[in-house]
Amino acid sequence: MNLTAERWLQGICSRGGQGAVSVAELGDANWLDIYSPRPDFRGALYQFLIGLLQIAYAPRDVKEWRDRYNRPPTHEELQAAFEPFKHAFLLENDGPAFMQDLALPDEVNQLPVLELLIDAGSSSNRYFNKPASDHGLCEACFTQALLTLQINAPSGGRGVRTSLRGGGPLTTLLLPADENATLWQKLWLNVIPLDALDHPPVKELSDVLPWLAPTRTSDDKSGQDTPPESVHPLQAYWSMPRRIRLDASTVDQGPCAVCAATNVRLIRHYRTRHGGTNYTGTWVHPLTPYSLDAKGEKPPISSKGHQAGRGYRDWLGLVLGNDTHQPDAAKVVSHFTTKVRSPQARLWCFGFSMSNMKSLCWYDSTLPVHVIESDVLRPFTKTVKQLLDSAEEMASTLHRQVKAAWFRRPGDAGNEPAVPQSFWQGSEAIFYRLLDELAVLDFDSKAKLAPIYRRWLLETRRLMLDLFDHWVLSSPFEHQDMQRVIKARAALTRDLNSGKTLKPLWEVVNRHHKEPA
C-alpha cells in the first residue's frame, strides 16, 4: 500500500456518511473530516496529514497560506506535490517502508500487532476496545497504530526510546470555529508558512523522513544521540524512536480487530528491537506547547496529555503563552494568533496521560481561541491571569473548607480531587463568557474592568456556596457536625471576600462600580 497514492483513509462526507479518500483528494470540499475507529488514531492521522502538507506543499508566506485556505488545491496539484515523496510512503517494501526500520537485524523480538496500541499495557479499558492478543490489524489500522506509537511513544524499559516530545505528549491543533468547515480548512490551519519556520534547506530527505536511511541507533557503544542539528527540524513531524518492522510471514485474511472490516488482509505480527533513535537536545515540535527553563540552560519541556483534561486552567498558556513561559503556546498557535489572526478558531487539545509505560487516560478537549490586538495584549493577559489565579484560589478554598466541614482533623484526611474539580467544571462557562468580553475591551481605564470583575466575583461566589452545600450535605447524615459545617461555611465566605487574589478584584469593583440608578 502506498500512503500517498491509495484511498486508505476514511473521510466524513458533507452529504453524510463516509467514504474512502486519498491524500491527493484532501482539497475536495465534500470532505468535512477524517474518520478513525480510535480517538488516538484520529489525532495521529491529523498530524500525519499536516506533516505531509508541511513537507510537500508548505506556503511561502501568510499571503500564499491565505490563498490556499480560500482556494484549496485540486487533486492534480496535490498529486504533483506528493510525487517526489511517493517512494517514502510504502507500507511494505524490501527497501524503505513507512516509519519502519530499514536495517533491523535478524535477532529481534516478534510481537503481536496489538502491542503497538499505546493502551495495550493499561489495566483500564474504559476508553478503547481491547481485542484478544491473537487478533490482527488491517493495513490501514496497522499504519495508524504504528504512526500513533512512533509520535507518542511512552517509555518502555531499558533502551526503549520515548517519542521526540517525551512519553504521552500534548498536541494542540487549530480548528476553524465554523462548524461547517471543510477537512482542508481543518488541516491547513495547522500548516506553517516557510518564512515563519525559517528552517535550513533539506540536504537529504532522510534527515526529515528517518526511515529512508539506517536508523541512528542508540543501544551500543557506537550508538548516538539525535539532536535537531544532526538531522533536520522537520523530522519533528516524522520521528521514529522505535525500531519496528512489519512481519509479513504471518499475514493472512480475516476481520480487523480494531475497525472490524471483514475478510481483509490481516497483519498479525511485527518485529522490533530496542535502541531506536534517541531524540535529545532542543527539539521543539510545532504542534506542542513547551515550558522553557527560566535560565535558558535546560532543554524545553513538552506539555503532556493530561493538560487536555484541565478545563480552562491552562487557557492562557496553551492559547497565548504565559509571561513565565510555563508553557509557551505551540508554534502553530503563536504563529496563528500573531500573524494569521483569522478565521475564528478553536484549539483542539489531546493526548495520553501516561504513568511510564502505562496509559491512564486519553484526554480530548477544545478551548476557545481569541486573537488579541498587540496594543492591548499585555493588559488582557494580565487580567486573564488575575481571573485564573483567583479561580485557583477559589478551587483550593472550596477543597479546604469542604474538608474542614467533613472531618474533625481535616489535615489528616487525604485529597478529595472531585471537590476542586467541581469548581473548575462549574465555572468554565462563566469564565469563557467573560473572556469574550475581555477580548474586545480597549483597557483604557480600570473602570471598564469593574463590571466584568463584579460578575466574575458574584457568579463564582454563588457557585462556591452552592458547591459547598452540595458536597457537605452529600456526606452521610450521622457524620455531620453542624457546628463544624457553620464554621467552615463562615470561613469560606470570609475567604471569598478577602482571599489574596480576590481582594484586589473587589477593590477595583468597590472603587469603580456604580449601580445603575
Nearer to Zn ion, 258 or 333 (CB): 258
Measured CA distances, 368 to 34, 173, 308, 318, 428 (Å): 22, 12, 13, 11, 11
The set of cell numbers assigned to 87 is: 517512494
Measured CA distances, 441 to 196, 375, 430, 511 (Å): 29, 11, 17, 19
Nearer to Zn ion, 265 or 313 (CB): 265
* Pairing state between β 269-273 and 252-254: unpaired
Nearer to Zn ion, 26 or 266 (CB): 266
Grid look-up 505528549 returns: 169
Positions touching Zn ion (CB under 5 A) are 138, 141, 256, 258-259
Q: CB 252 → Zn ion: shortest distance, Å?
A: 14
The separation between CA 169 and the C-alpha centre of its own chain, rounded to angstroms, equals 7
Helix, strand or coil for residue 348? strand
Backbone angles phi, psi at 66, to 5 degrees: -70, -40
- Verify cis geometry, omega within 30 degrees of 0, for the bond prior to 96: no
Nearer to Zn ion, 138 or 492 (CB): 138
Grid look-up 504504528 returns: 146
Nearer to Zn ion, 7 or 513 (CB): 7
The set of cell numbers assigned to 285 is: 515540535
Crossing angle between the packed helical segments 39-56 and 75-82, to the nearest 10 degrees: 80
Nearer to Zn ion, 114 or 394 (CB): 114
Measured CA distances, 318 to 88, 190, 278, 424, 443 (Å): 33, 15, 27, 17, 23
Nearer to Zn ion, 58 or 147 (CB): 147
How far apart CA 318 and CA 314 sit, in angstroms, is: 6
Q: CB 278 → Zn ion: shortest distance, Å?
A: 31
Nearer to Zn ion, 144 or 172 (CB): 144
Backbone angles phi, psi at 36, to 5 degrees: -145, 145
The set of cell numbers assigned to 314 is: 491552562
Q: CB 249 → Zn ion: shortest distance, Å?
A: 20
Q: CB 341 → Zn ion: shortest distance, Å?
A: 40
How far apart CA 211 and CA 243 sit, in angstroms, is: 10
Q: CB 20 → Zn ion: shortest distance, Å?
A: 13
Q: CB 121 → Zn ion: shortest distance, Å?
A: 21
Count the neighbouring beta carbons within 10 Å of the beta carbon of residue 35.
18
Nearer to Zn ion, 145 or 191 (CB): 145
Q: CB 256 → Zn ion: shortest distance, Å?
A: 3
Nearer to Zn ion, 153 or 258 (CB): 258
Q: CB 153 → Zn ion: shortest distance, Å?
A: 21
The set of cell numbers assigned to 390 is: 483567583
Q: CB 266 → Zn ion: shortest distance, Å?
A: 9
DSSP 50-85: HHHHHHHS--SSHHHHHHHHHSPPPHHHHHHHHGGG
Q: CB 140 → Zn ion: shortest distance, Å?
A: 6
